[in-house]
Amino acid sequence: MSQQYFLGIDTSTTSSKALLVDNCGEVAAVASSPHTLQIPKPLWSEQDPREWWEAVSASIRSVLKKAGIGGESVAAVGLTGQMHGLVLLDGAGEVLRPAILWNDQRTQVQCNEIHQRIGRQKFIQITGNVALPGFTAPKILWVQENEPDVYANAQHVLLPKDYIRYKLTDEYAMDKADGSGTVLFDLRQRDWSAEVLAALGIPLEWMPSTFEGPEFTGKITTEVATVTGLKAGTPVAAGGGDQAAQAVGVGAVQPGVVALTVGTSGVVFATTSSALVEPEGRLHAFCHAVPGMWHFMGVMLSAAGSLQWYRDTLAPGVSFDDLLKEAETVPAGSESLQFLPYLSGERTPHPDPLARGAWIGLTLRHGRGHLTRALLEGVAFGLKDSFTLIQNAGLSHVWQVRASGGGTKGALWRQILASVLEAELVTVNTTEVAAYGAALLAGVGAGAWTDVPAACATAVKVTGSTCPDPTKVEAYRRGYALYRELYPALKPTFSKMIG
């Protein structure tokens, strides 16, 4: 029998990645093609979906070439990508406007309107979430109210990876994990909420059918086979939004194992066996890509993105390694210097697009190493906000945190995170974990593994461990207590700093 491969495709904000996994869980090859980002107005963030398709096509061709295989060796395809982005198509499947992305902040008025129409507490109980500018539902209302000609021609609502699915298969479909992230879902029923759609005036027929992560949703078309090198008829699994797929990719598929992602944004992800809801909606509650499972998720909008901005803006030409070496010489707590990482506003636990970043407590004593370390600690404190909410919501038994993302590559930041969270941090055997998770979901659909936990048990390997430093834990407890006082104190000022 010839070797089988499973292809994971990740349409992220910055690029489209293609990753091949064999039926032992080993990565055979990875390819990536970049995207561009448009910011036509302050707080806006958009991309052209057609550019995603060009990037995906290029990455598929490249990964097959790198692996030295033909498309006939790919048994199934799994999809993942940036969540919440609005893709509107007309009846012919043509893109009507640029996609409005997850980090777009233009829709606070529409969020307020959603809560007024449905009732804030009722909306939380149905969808598991409050309405936030990053989510899909308020974006639809924004187009309805601000671009009526576009809205009048709309017939299909998709998310970024589901536009790629449409291009691959000619099918309109969506997985339940990403679908719940639109906040148009009935969380407990794991499907569209007719009540919410009706209240917002969004036709149910615009919304695609939804599927569990490993279920097949269509097949590669003959035209796509010619363009990409894949075999016509290859099945395409539902997959999951990037965070659910990343959780699969690191093996966070059961209660007690938390996935921590420190990428451009920061995410704390905890699997639940039932549809739990944080009463005030301070945590996101979505369906998991694992059939019959759900999850809590806390999101900070600028995690490793804060470090990238800092280096590019204040230390151009200095390597990240050199900055972190300077920070290593600074004691835990950065000698009372604090950093608020709200450079893009914030989502958890402060759903506030007007929140702003800041260093607080600067003195002549502080140098660049202090600024760097305070930034690393501030991001860790922001992630602890989500971690604490999850523990207080009933998931107090956390036995392991599985870390991924560019921010976890450095030993110093891993040590800070472990000590701030007071939990063991482990890393796993792949860096492109969302695409890896999508490939595993495709493998489950194809029968390579009996279910998602079995796939993770076989394929996901722990490669490193970082435990809390007991000599620093108390300093971080004190620092975190101060950190929690800063946003409430500064919120009135932030609200006056529009523009």
Helix (H) or strand (E) holding 481: helix 473-494
CA distances from 340 to 63, 326, 378, 497 (A): 40, 20, 6, 16
Could you tell me the pLDDT band of residue 499, with boundaries at 50, 70 and 90? low
Give the active site residue among 186, 242, 352, 385. 242
In this structure, is residue 250 part of a structural domain? no
Region 93-115 average pLDDT: 96
Give 344-366 pLDDT, tens digit per residue: 899 899 988 899 999 999 999 99
Give 368-400 pLDDT, tens digit per residue: 999 999 999 999 999 999 999 998 887 767 778
Give 324-336 pLDDT, tens digit per residue: 999 999 999 999 9
In this structure, is residue 155 part of a structural domain? yes
C-alpha closest to that of 188 among 249, 274, 109: 274
Instruction: State which residues form the domain around 180.
Output: 5-243
pLDDT at 95: 98
Percentage of the residues of the chain whose pLDDT score is greater than 90: 88
Region 106-112 average pLDDT: 96
Could you tell me the pLDDT band of residue 264, with boundaries at 50, 70 and 90? confident
pLDDT at 397: 77
Q: Is it the case that residue 425 has pLDDT exceeding 70? A: yes
Query: How many whole angstroms separate alpha carbon 413 and alpha carbon 400?
Result: 17
Query: How many whole angstroms separate alpha carbon 357 and alpha carbon 314?
Result: 14
In this structure, is residue 442 part of a structural domain? no
DSSP 8-state code for residue 275: -
In this structure, is residue 278 part of a structural domain? no
pLDDT at 459: 95
Q: Is it the case that residue 56 has pLDDT exceeding 90? A: yes
Query: How many whole angstroms separate alpha carbon 178 and alpha carbon 176?
Result: 6
Active-site residue 90, yes or no?
no
Please, are residues 45 and 103 in contact by the beta-carbon 8 Å criterion? yes
Block residue for tokens 């003195």: 363
Give 185-227 pLDDT, tens digit per residue: 999 999 999 999 999 999 999 999 999 999 999 999 999 999 9
CB neighbour burial string for 297-333, b if at least 16 within 10 angstroms, e if fewer? bbbbbbbbbbbbbbbeeebeeeebeebbebbeebebb
Give 143-154 pLDDT, tens digit per residue: 999 999 999 999
- pTM of this prediction? 0.89
In this structure, is residue 174 part of a structural domain? yes
Percentage of the residues of the chain whose pLDDT score is greater than 70: 99
CATH number (domain holding residue 195): 3.30.420.40
Phi, psi of 40 (to 5 degrees): -70, -20
In this structure, is residue 349 part of a structural domain? no
In this structure, is residue 168 part of a structural domain? yes
In this structure, is residue 325 part of a structural domain? no
Region 12-21 average pLDDT: 96
Number of structural domains, the chain?
A: 1
- The dihedral through the CA atoms of 299, 304, 305, 306 has a sign that is positive
pLDDT at 188: 97
